Structure 1
Amino acid sequence: MKITARPIVAGSLFAAILGSSAVLAEPIPTTDWSGYYVGLSAARSTGDNYWDRPALGGHATLSDDWTGTLPILTVGRDWQRGQFTFGAAFSISSGEITASPQPGIFLLCNDCETIVSDLMTLRGRVGLADSKMHFFATGGFAQADVAGTSGGGQTTVNSDTLTGWTLGLGVERNLGDKVSLTAGYDHFDLGAITLEGHNPGAISEIEFGLMQIGVNYRW
């Protein structure tokens, strides 16, 4: 009786293909983002500011863009379950951003300036890990010292510590050796500061954004 080796060869070839397919199908390892981290970033302000008299309707002054770059120190903790992450972070900044609203029909303003300084946030965040990338959304409590001045800073109309909220989106890339590069955008709403000392009923609503880029170290 003649015995052929073709079925044996075909079976071996099929098994080899399955084995190679299994190897090719193995997912790329995902970075473990769990643990503590400390980060330093530079944040550029966006948005504009004006002084207003709500009782008269419309903006009392012409708006001016926020200017300034803040150094921000962040300490946080993340946990990871599969590809999903969640955590909390605390951030502080010692710098300031400013805007100089221009005189309008309903409010004369002699070198007026709005100043936001000593920003602090406490935020939660959730994210998705994908290979060496980490995409996340963040939000929580925000606080800063706010002042309104006139006469080129010669007169302080009012100063106060305002609290509000912040929401943002960001991305992080693992560079190896526990170091990662991060970038994101955060929007802030701190409510309004009263400026009665300048004009009755005058206020300034404090809203701005921060475009950030920085480096984190994890352990």
Structure 2
Amino acid sequence: MTDPLARFLLIAALAGLNPLASASAADLSAAPVVKGVAPLPEDPFAGFYLGIAAGYGRGATQADGGLAGASAFSFDTDGALAAGYGGYNWRSGAFLAGAEVEIGYMGISGSALQPLGGAEVSTHIGAYGALTGRLGVVLGTGTLIYGKGGVALAWPKLEVQGPGLDAWRVEANAGWTAGAGVEQALAGRWLLRAEYQYFDFGEMTANGAALGGPAGAWTASTLDAHTLKAGIAHRF
């Protein structure tokens, strides 16, 4: 038969261990759960992007020459334009820097009669391209305000028509461009923009004598355009 004192000591020991086991289990259940660190929000502007734009432009052509004693005159030009653009943006805090290429077509044209001689002078800008740098500031609302500037290239047409004369010339003209705009980040990596951009494509000359017309050269200077464009791009 088991010793009563030994039995009592065994029961007391088991009873003492039970609260410790319960406390340990409670401590384990109350231990904090370590969750994974949430990823940083994606930058809505940094990286490559491609887009399309359309808009309207107005300009002016300063023309002179043609016949002895002819005075300079000017006329307005206007028309629609469309372009594709793409580039890359770098971001540091609220500041953004980028480079952008734009290729498109300007249907910006106009004409006027020369005061002396009655010849009609017309210009048409046509195909163009631009390489620009961009600097901007990103607001907390996902809005980018930026300025841009760089070089531009176009293939304008200068034409002079009159009695016994149909002189025209198309050539590559290099110039410069500058502008500013606002871009808004949308869901799905889309970027919506509104932009003003000025283009200056220099000057060009059409020589009537070289084309079988009367002697004289018509020069069109200040081939320019003030443009307003809306565009949408996708960031990759």
Q: TM-score, normalised by structure 2?
A: 0.71
Q: CA deviation at 1:155?
A: 3.0
Rg larger in structure: 2
Q: Which residue of 1 aligns with 2:13?
A: none
Q: Which residue of 1 aligns with 2:22?
A: none
Q: CA deviation at 1:209?
A: 1.4
Return structure 1 stretches of 4+ with deviation > 3 angstroms.
29-32, 56-59
Pairwise CA RMSD: 2.8
Matched letter for residue 47 of structure 1: G
Pairing 1:51-200 to 2, within 5 Å after superposition: 51-53=63-65, 60-61=72-73, 63-105=74-116, 108-110=118-120, 112-131=121-140, 132-151=142-161, 155-197=166-208, 200=216
Q: CA deviation at 1:59?
A: 6.1
- Kindly provide the CA deviation profile for residues 22-61 of structure 1, in whole angstroms up to 9, marking residues without a partner as x: xxxxxxx89531111111110211222231249x999623
Conservation of the 8 A alpha-carbon contact between 1:77 and 1:88 = yes
**Matching of residue 216 in structure 1 with residue 233 in structure 2:** yes
Conservation of the 8 A alpha-carbon contact between 1:31 and 1:129 = no
Matched letter for residue 50 of structure 1: Q
Q: Secondary structure of 1:104's partner?
A: coil
Identity %: 27
| Distance in 1 of aligned mates of 2:137 and 2:71 | 41
| Distance in 2 of aligned mates of 1:199 and 1:180 | 53
Gaps of 5+ in 1: 1-28
Q: Secondary structure of 1:101's partner?
A: strand
Q: Which residue of 2 aligns with 1:47?
A: 59
